[in-house]
């Protein structure tokens, strides 16, 4: 079980570019969206970031669109809370809910649209970063920015172990699937609990095996490795 | 805009929402606040709230890894576990798992400060690898999901463990952590986007009502799930639990 | 160089029967050794003892006739010479990419960054990983992960390499590649000790066999002498 976004991060045209450029691009766009807070600016940022992701970085537009659509649908639910107004007296088009009048006003609707566009632009900017930048590059960059070493190291371990555990989770899910572990809602809950517990136990035992493996490599307490930037990068 | 106009637009909005319900129900919105949803000032404020917890947590991690260098492996796996739990297959009525179970376990094992750091890292990776949440909203999400929720769960666990049946305590801890996460997030959205007429209170009611749909069943199933996980751990891995410092009740 | 076990007893805490009982072995430079025996017979325990992770309660592990000192410096010296590749590569790959993982061991040995980099490139070359150095660890195939795990140990230039049931997940083609690598290592003077259940391989590959049963040495010697008689599972006829 892989993570699609992560796979694109390694396999796009910009993956070798220094992360500072991509993060800078993305953060600048984010700031533009948030600080200007104008629908027009948001739309421009949205289009620009989508173009950067698909044309410059070469991420397939289908993947980008699918991601944006999923995020847009999450956003709609949130924006609904802004679009609706609640007032003690009836307003045009409002309905009564428990003594209050719930409706939509032109003002609230405009605001909802503005927030929706702003968030969509920001999300596109974030997607650009996520889809073009391998996490190890980002971590190396954070290290250079003097983010505390323990934190960067822990992030690296979490990133690495995430994939190991995702693998285990995939295998265990399959093993329950073939024994009809997800045939009913009840069974699903039970299977989920068993898998969760098993995953936790596996994680703990793995931490012990990892420790043995570390010590066998003359470990002295720090997880020092060579800077990633110096790695030879063969042309493929 | 005329009245009719407003009606049409809201109808369109509802249809759109209906369309989006299909993917949204397959994977109902977690309580992550999406990127760009908070104005800059509020985003910064929530970072400021989270910061002290992170600082204390990082100092504690530094101390822990100096005393027990191998602890970082367990920390790394605990963080990865919290992340991976969100990919666990759950009954479809409640959809995907949020991570109070993971961070809650982290809080029980390492205390609230270290688990707030783990929660922050997990949220960063969720933003970068799953497109859940965002960078500017990381502070707000960290407060609701990585700090308030787990601390509430941890307090319930600490306070009631010796008085009630363990299963009940675990259920309460997990369900409460989940509900508080939801309440805090609704509050964060409400103060950032107050209702033009009814103010923050009305806005809180609106966001609360919208998310109640998915979050209350989620809290219950998360509570049940955590109980079952905990029971399985007690049965299958008592030695491991003891090694991790989770004593018998 | 020689690695010797003299009358080694190892017991896990809380276990009544020791996992190794009176084990005497001697491994010489460049030797190809196979370590065989049932599950739970003590193969992994022997490997961990050779590397100093486990300390014998009785008897001694000796490097060139000198008993190993179980303090910081003694263990560092032992681990510089004795490398271990474990069964599951995911248990020993720590970093998100191959390059950084290979550098962990050399840096632990206190080498400078330039020297460590040199070692990394060399080990990668040896294991045919040069084109994969910048790949994320989680995107490697099983065979590539196995080779990365071996390279992580080779970067420390061990004189004795213990490989614990690594081959079992690998397909015959990849297995062959890994075996060829292990043969090359042995010809270059590094002793290779392979814990395995593959008897056909043991018969053709090994120069010396150590056969454990319930923590004791059952037999040891040249395969042609040791792997005979009704105890050998591969000499029985077809199972059905
Ligand atoms: N960490 C441990 N704690 C207690 N007993 C162990 C541990 N590891 C192995 N053992 C026991 O030691 C014996 C030898 O195990 P091991 O060396 O792993 O065998 P093999 O690798 O040949 O399958 C077995 O009986 C096993 O149960
Ligand atoms: Mg073994």
Q: Which CATH number fits the domain that encloses residue C11?
A: 3.40.50.300
Q: Which of A2-6, C182-186, C199-203 has the lowest mean pLDDT?
A: A2-6
Residue-wise pLDDT tens digits, B195-243: 877 788 888 888 888 777 777 877 888 888 888 888 888 887 777 777 7
Residue C117, domain member (yes or no): no
How far is the C-alpha of A103 from the C-alpha of A109, rounded, in Å? 10
Q: What integer pLDDT is reported at residue C157 of this predicted model?
A: 92
Instruction: Give the model's confidence band at B19: pLDDT under 50 very low, under 70 low, under 90 confident, else very high.
Output: very low
Per-residue pLDDT of C63-79, as tens digits, reads: 999 999 999 889 989 99
Contact list in A for residue B103 (CB cut-off 8 A) is none
Q: Which of B55, B143, B47, B132 is nearest to B98 (CA)?
A: B132
Cβ-based neighbours of B125, under 8 Å, separated by 6 or more: A135, A155, A158, A159, A162, B83
Regarding predicted confidence, which is higher, B246 or C211? C211
Please tell me if residue A99 touches chain B, with a CB cutoff of 8 Å. Answer: no
Give yes or no for a contact between A152 and A143, defined as CB atoms under 8 angstroms apart.
yes
Does residue C202 carry a pLDDT above 60? yes
The predicted structure's pLDDT at residue A221: 78
pLDDT of residue B23: 40
Q: Write out residues 59-88 of B within 8 Å (CB-CB) of A.
A: 61-62, 65, 69-70, 72-81, 83-85, 87-88
What pLDDT shows up at residue A220?
80
Predicted pLDDT at B230 = 82
pLDDT at B27: 47
Kindly indicate the confidence band of residue A73, based on its pLDDT and cuts at 50, 70 and 90: confident
Q: What is the mean pLDDT of residues B111-132?
A: 90
In a domain, C121, yes or no: no
Residue C221, domain member (yes or no): yes
Number of structural domains chain C divides into? 1
Q: Interface partners of B (3+ CB pairs, < 8 Å)?
A: A
In a domain, C190, yes or no: yes
- Residue B179's pLDDT band, with cuts at 50, 70 and 90, is confident
Q: What is the overall mean pLDDT for chain B?
A: 79
Give the least confident one: A129-133, B126-130, B173-177, C61-65. Answer: B173-177
Pick the ligand that lies closest to the CA of residue C38: 1
Judge if pTM exceeds 0.95.
no
Q: How far is the CA of B78 from the centre of ligand 2 (A)?
A: 26
> Hey, what are A57's tokens?
């970085």
Q: CA of A183 to nearest chain B CA: how many angstroms apart?
A: 10
Render C143-186 in DSSP notation, one character per residue: HHHHHHHHHHHHTT--SEEEEESGGGGS-HHHHHHHHHHHHHHH
Domain membership of residue C11 (yes or no) is: yes
Q: Do the beta carbons of residue B100 and residue B175 sit within 8 Å?
A: no
* Gap from B163 CA to chain A (nearest CA, Å): 25
Which ligand has an atom closest to residue C165 CA? 2
Whether B28 has a pLDDT exceeding 70, the answer reads no
Three-class secondary structure of residue B37 per DSSP: coil
Q: Is residue C191 part of a domain?
A: yes
Predicted local confidence at residue A116, as pLDDT: 92
- C68 is a domain residue: yes
pLDDT, tens digit (0-9, with 9 covering 90-100), for C3-24: 999 999 999 988 889 999 999 9
| Banded model confidence at residue B95, pLDDT cuts 50, 70, 90 | very low
Residue-range definition of the domain harbouring residue C165: 2-90+160-226
Helix (H, G, I), strand (E, B) or coil at C219: strand
| Of C12, C57, C165, best ligand 1 pocket probe by most atoms within 8 Å of the beta carbon | C12
Q: In this structure, what token pair is assigned to residue A194?
A: 């068993």
- Give every CB contact of residue C135 below 8 A, 6+ residues apart in sequence: A10, C97, C98
Nearest neighbour of A188 by CB, restricted to B90, B127, B135 = B90
Which ipTM value was assigned to this complex? Answer: 0.91
């Amino acid at each position: 079980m892989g993570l699609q976004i992560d796979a694109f991060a390694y396999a796009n045209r910009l993956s070798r570019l220094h992360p500072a450029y991509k993060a800078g691009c993305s953060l600048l766009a984010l700031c533009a969206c948030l600080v200007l807070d104008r629908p027009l600016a948001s739309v421009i940022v949205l289009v620009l970031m989508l173009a950067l992701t698909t044309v410059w970085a070469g991420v397939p537009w289908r993947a980008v669109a699918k991601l944006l659509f999923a995020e847009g649908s999450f956003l709609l639910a949130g924006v609904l809370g802004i679009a609706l107004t609640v007032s003690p007296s009836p307003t045009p088009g409002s309905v009564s809910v428990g003594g209050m009048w719930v409706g939509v006003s032109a003002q609230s609707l405009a605001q909802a649209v503005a927030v929706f566009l702003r968030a969509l632009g920001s999300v596109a900017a974030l997607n650009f970063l996520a889809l073009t930048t391998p996490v190890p590059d980002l971590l190396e960059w954070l290290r250079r920015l003097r983010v505390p070493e323990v934190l960067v190291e822990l992030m690296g371990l979490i990133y690495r172990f995430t994939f190991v555990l995702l693998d285990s989770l995939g295998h265990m899910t399959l093993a329950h699937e073939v024994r009809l572990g997800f045939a009913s809602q009840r069974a699903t809950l039970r299977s989920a609990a068993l898998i969760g517990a098993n995953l936790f136990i596996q994680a703990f035992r793995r931490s012990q095996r990892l420790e043995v493996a570390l010590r066998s490599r003359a470990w002295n307490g720090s997880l020092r490795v060579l800077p990633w930037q110096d790695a030879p990068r063969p042309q493929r | 805009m005329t009245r009719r106009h407003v009606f049409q637009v809201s109808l369109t909005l509802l249809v759109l929402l209906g369309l989006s319900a299909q993917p949204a129900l397959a994977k109902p919105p977690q309580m992550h606040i999406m990127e760009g949803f908070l104005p800059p000032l509020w985003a910064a404020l929530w970072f400021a709230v989270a910061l002290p917890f992170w600082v204390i947590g990082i100092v504690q991690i530094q101390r822990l890894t100096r005393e027990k260098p191998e602890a970082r492996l367990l920390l790394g796996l605990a963080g990865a576990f919290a992340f991976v739990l969100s990919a666990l297959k759950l009954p479809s009525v409640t959809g995907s798992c949020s991570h109070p179970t993971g961070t809650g376990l982290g809080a029980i094992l390492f205390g609230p400060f270290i688990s707030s750091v783990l929660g922050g890292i997990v949220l960063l990776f969720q933003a970068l690898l799953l497109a859940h949440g965002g960078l500017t909203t990381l502070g707000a999400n960290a407060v609701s999901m990585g700090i308030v929720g787990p601390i509430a769960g941890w307090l319930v666990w600490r306070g009631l463990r010796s008085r009630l049946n363990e299963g009940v305590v675990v259920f309460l801890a997990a369900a409460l952590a989940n509900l508080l996460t939801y309440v805090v997030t609704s509050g964060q959205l409400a103060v950032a986007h107050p209702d033009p007429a009814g103010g923050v209170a009305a806005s809180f009611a609106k966001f609360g009502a919208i998310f109640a749909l998915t979050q209350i069943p989620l809290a219950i199933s998360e509570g049940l799930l955590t109980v079952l996980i905990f029971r399985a751990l007690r049965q299958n891995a008592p030695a491991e639990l003891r090694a991790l410092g989770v004593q018998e009740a | 160089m020689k690695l010797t076990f003299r009358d080694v007893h190892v017991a896990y805490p809380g276990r009544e029967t020791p996992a190794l009982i009176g084990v005497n072995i001697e491994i010489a430079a460049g030797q190809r050794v196979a370590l065989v025996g049932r599950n739970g017979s003590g193969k992994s325990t022997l490997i961990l003892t050779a590397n100093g992770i486990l300390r014998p309660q009785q008897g001694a592990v000796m490097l060139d006739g000198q008993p190993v000192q179980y303090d910081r410096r003694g263990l560092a010296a032992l681990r510089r010479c004795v490398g271990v590749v474990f069964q599951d590569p995911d248990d020993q790959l720590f970093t998100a990419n191959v390059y950084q993982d290979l550098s962990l061991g050399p840096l632990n040995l206190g080498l400078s960054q330039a020297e460590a980099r040199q070692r990394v490139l060399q080990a990668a070359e040896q294991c045919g990983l040069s084109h994969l150095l910048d790949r994320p660890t989680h995107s490697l195939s099983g065979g590539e992960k196995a080779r990365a795990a071996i390279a992580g140990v080779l970067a420390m230039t061990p004189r004795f390499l213990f490989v614990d049931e690594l081959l079992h997940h690998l397909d015959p083609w990849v297995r062959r590649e890994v075996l060829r690598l292990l043969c090359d290592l042995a010809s270059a003077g590094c002793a290779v000790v392979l814990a395995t259940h593959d008897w056909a391989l043991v018969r053709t590959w090994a120069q010396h066999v150590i056969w454990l049963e319930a923590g004791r040495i059952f037999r040891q010697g040249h395969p042609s002498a040791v792997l005979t008689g009704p105890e050998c599972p591969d000499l029985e006829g077809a199972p059905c």
